[in-house]
Amino acid sequence: MKMTITDAASQWFKSELALPDQGAGIRFFGKVYGKTQVHDGFSVGMTRDDTPEETAMQVEKDGVLYYVNDVDAWFFERLNMTVDYDSKADEPKYEFVEEKEEV
């Protein structure tokens, strides 16, 4: 499980959610309805949450902590997620790649 936040996505989150330079958190989770490249019937949800608990995956970028809690790890298991910015839709876009099994 790995997460990458692009520069463009980071700037969108900071601007759109008026995040401070330090101390903010964005939590990602799986939600019912929608579709991703690797999930049918589920999509990615996100919310501002500055107090992470029991994180399964996290990355800090530009002073913001982006993370997934243990309870939501099932959605991201064996996946690498890149969070990028879709300029046409003016929103984040999520790209998933399955992790390769090591032999």
| Residues 23-79 pLDDT 10s | 999 999 987 665 555 666 567 889 999 999 999 999 999 999 999 999 999 889 999
Q: How high is the pLDDT of residue 35?
A: 58
Q: How high is the pLDDT of residue 43?
A: 78
The pLDDT confidence band at residue 11, using thresholds 50, 70 and 90, is very high
Q: How high is the pLDDT of residue 17?
A: 95
User: What is the full DSSP assignment across the chain?
Assistant: -EEEE-HHHHHHHHHHTT--SSSEEEEEEEEEEEE-SS-EEEEEEEEE-SS--SEEEEEEETTEEEEEEGGGHHHHTTEEEEEEEETTTTEEEEEEEEPPPP-
